[in-house]
Structure formats: C-alpha cells, structure tokens
C-alpha cells in the first residue's frame, strides 16, 4: 500500500476513563483511580444495569458497563450511586472548551459524551508536536477536573481511535503511524476488537476464512465489495489503516443508520403491551431519520428476553421495496418480524433501527400509495410541534397506557436520571 497518496494528519482521540464513575467519584471528593464506585441506572432494582464502574471495580471485581446490580458483591468499600446526566453533560462541555484552547471549534469532533477527536495540524508552532499537545491536554484535564483520560494519536481518525483502544488506554498517551499498521494492527484477533466490526460482521468474516485484521487486509478487494458493497471497500482499506473521513464525518459511511435500543423497566409478557412499546420506539426512530431528512429501506428489529426465562432473543432485518421514514411503515415491518420470530417469553429489551439510508428527497411516489407524501408531511409537522413545545406535547394514545414508556423517558437525560 502506497501511503503517500493518503492524508497524513495529526489527529488525537481523547477518551475519559470510566467517565460517569470518575465524575461521580470526584463529586464525592474521591480519587477515581483508587475508589470502588459503580453508577447504576436504578439503585432500587437488583436487575438494574451498571452504566459505569471505576477502574478498580473492573480490575478487582470484574464489574463493568452492562453488568447487573445483583452481580456486585456485598463489600463495604463499594459505593453504588445513580447517574447525574446533567452534571456529566456540563463537565463534558467544559472539557470541550478546554480543547478550544489548542484548536478552533471546527477542528473538534465530539464523538460521544466521553470521547472526542481533535485535529491539531497547524497548532504545532504554538504548542509543540501532537504528542506534546496530547500530554498537555491530559495534564490539564487531570489538574482542572481531577479526571483521568487517555489519548491516542494517528494520521487519521481511524488510526487515532485504534491507537487509543489498543495501546493508549494502557499507557496514557500513545501514537501510531502508517508504519505501525502491519506490526500492531494486523495481528489483532478476534475481529470484533477492531473498531467498526461488530459480532455479527465478525461471524460473517470468520465464515469467509478471515480471523485477523492482517487476513482482512490480504483478502481480495473485489470479493469483499461483491459481498458487502461499499462497506467491503471500507473494511479493506481500514485493515490497511486508511481512512479518508474528515473531522465530524461518520467514519464508517456504509454503517450510517438511525436506531434506538431500550431496556424495559420491567418484564413485558402481554404481547399487546409489547406492541405499544414497539410503536413508541418506531416513532422515535422515524423522528431521528426525519431530523436528517433521511429515509431507509432496511428495517432491523431485535428482541431480548428476560433472564428470568433464561434470556435469548432474536435480531432480524427486512428490506422494504421503497425507503421510508414514516412511523407506521416501520411499525408494520417490525410487527411482521415480531410475529414471525417471537417465542412468547417475557421481553426485557427491544432494538429497532433503519438502514440502507438515502435522502428522503429521493423517495418516489407510488401508484399504490398516493397519500404517502401526506403521511411524510404529517411526520415532519409532529416533529416541529414537539421541538417547539416539548416532546410530550403530542403523544400517541399508547403512551398513556400502563405499557407506555415515552412519558417517563421524556423526564430523563440520555435515558437516565438527570
């Protein structure tokens, strides 16, 4: 691979270690790296999900994000607290302002509440090279906020993120170049450790005889494109450490989708109640697509059954003839998948997403659906009213039933207590 033809930027990927837990520890006057603290979504429910755990909780007790409250041992050193989302968001905003001391706003991409990309090209004459800037940022965050962080450095967003995940989180600050790809990235296995490759994609690649990133880089590009389309092209070049994304653009263009995953407050056994929640979630997924003036053809629907009934579940997709961002279209497809694959056990998690995205301006009218444009217009009107008057200004009747979750979730920030 001739890397001279690809961008060679100076990109930092800054990750706040156990951000929620670290913030909660500092607010209690504790050292985030020395205390035993867990942030759980609801301390009154033993089945509540752990949102964050301090590094010592992870290392000594094996408690991490996704663990359950009942898994936490009865130890007097352990502090269990509920999230304070508004406080976390305020701190995240202040950290972004700190980045602004080194680079302009357009050089910062807030990837999540606890992770950001910063392009420092052009700042070296003032602050020094990328490694020195990373060290300064890390030290300032620790001094001003008492929060630990790690920084990965790379010639593009992808390699800075991989450097963060695979090296900097152990060292504090680390840097990769294109020359490091063969030695540090190619031996990586399983493939799901590679940013942008999930478990399902990993299984597909394994069936093709691909088990390491090096094998992916050596695979025939035409065969990958034939199998995965544009994503196959991206997988190939990402295995070589090549990424053409600009700051602020999605790194895996082929993976752009709109979705929502919800862990329910209780086990839902009544199938009609489950349908009520599915309709609420379809409404939200459709709204997210409309907010970007997008529509999609492929609907993905997943169910996770209660651990009380030994867990399990399913995740299926269905592609519609025409792209849509209309709530009832999504709902109709989700119900088809639900009726086809449901085993009747109590439901605890629902996942819905819409992919195969296009601009909704490309949606064609159909002779069989002459009122489709009206349905789309109604969706945008409802979105406008909710933006202006609040999310609960207009709700479907199902939200006022005992099964509905929308009214309660409207009081939350990021799905958790503010």
> What residues form DSSP beta bridges with 381?
none
Instruction: Clarify whether 115 is annotated catalytic.
Output: yes
d(CA 305, CA 37): 29
Which DSSP string do the residues of 338-362 spell out, in sequence order?
HHHH--SPPEEEEEEEEEEEEEGGG
- Residue 300: beta bridge partners? 317, 353
Q: Which segments of 253-394 are extended strands (E)?
A: 258-268, 294-305, 313-324, 347-359
Q: Which of 69, 171, 101, 174 is nearest to 131 (CA)?
A: 174
Which is the catalytic residue, given 82, 115, 135, 309?
Answer: 115
Question: Does residue 258 contact residue 356 with C-beta atoms inside 8 Å?
Answer: no
Asked if residues 257 and 357 have their Cβ atoms less than 8 Å apart, the reply is: yes
290: which 2 tokens? 């409309």
Burial (CB count <10 Å: 0-12, 13-18, 19+), residue 159: buried
CA within 13 Å, CB half, 274: 22
Residues tagged active-site: 115
């Amino acid at each position: 691979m001739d890397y001279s033809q690809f961008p060679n930027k100076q990109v930092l990927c800054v990750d706040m270690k156990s951000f929620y837990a670290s913030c909660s520890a500092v607010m209690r006057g504790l050292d985030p790296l020395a205390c035993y603290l867990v942030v759980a979504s609801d301390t009154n429910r033993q089945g509540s999900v752990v949102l964050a755990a301090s590094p010592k909780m992870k290392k000594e007790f094996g408690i991490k994000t996704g663990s359950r409250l009942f898994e936490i041992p009865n130890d007097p050193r352990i502090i269990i607290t509920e999230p304070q989302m508004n406080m976390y968001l305020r701190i995240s905003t202040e950290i972004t302002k700190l980045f602004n001391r080194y680079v302009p706003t357009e050089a910062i991409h807030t990837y999540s509440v606890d992770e950001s990309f910063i392009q420092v090209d052009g700042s070296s004459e003032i602050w020094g090279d990328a490694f020195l800037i990373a060290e300064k940022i890390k030290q300032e965050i620790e001094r001003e906020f008492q929060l630990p962080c790690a920084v990965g450095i790379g010639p593009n967003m992808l390699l800075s993120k991989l450097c963060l995940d695979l090296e900097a989180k152990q060292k504090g600050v680390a840097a990769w170049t294109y020359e490091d790809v063969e030695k540090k990235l190619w031996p990586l296995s399983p493939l799901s450790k590679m940013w942008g490759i999930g478990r399902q994609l990993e299984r597909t690649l394994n069936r093709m005889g691909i088990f390491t990133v090096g094998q992916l880089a050596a695979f025939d590009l035409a065969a990958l494109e034939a199998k995965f389309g544009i994503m196959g092209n991206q997988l190939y070049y990402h295995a070589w450490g090549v990424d053409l994304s600009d700051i602020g653009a999605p790194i895996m263009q082929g993976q752009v989708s709109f979705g929502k995953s919800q862990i329910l407050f209780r086990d839902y056994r009544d199938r009609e109640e489950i349908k009520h929640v599915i309709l609420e979630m379809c409404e939200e997924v459709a709204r997210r697509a409309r907010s970007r003036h997008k529509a999609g053809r492929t609907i993905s629907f997943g169910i996770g059954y209660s651990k009380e009934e030994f867990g399990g579940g399913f995740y299926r997709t269905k592609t519609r003839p025409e792209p849509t961002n209309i709530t009832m279209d999504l709902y109709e497809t989700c119900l088809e998948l639900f009726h086809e694959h449901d085993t009747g056990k109590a439901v605890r998690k629902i996942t819905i997403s819409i992919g195969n995205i296009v601009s909704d301006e490309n949606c064609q009218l159909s002779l069989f659906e002459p009122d489709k444009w009206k349905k789309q217009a109604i969706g945008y009107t409802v979105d406008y009213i909710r933006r202006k008057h609040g999310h609960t200004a207009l709700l479907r009747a199902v939200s006022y039933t005992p099964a509905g979750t929308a009214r309660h979730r409207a009081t939350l920030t990021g799905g958790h207590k503010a």
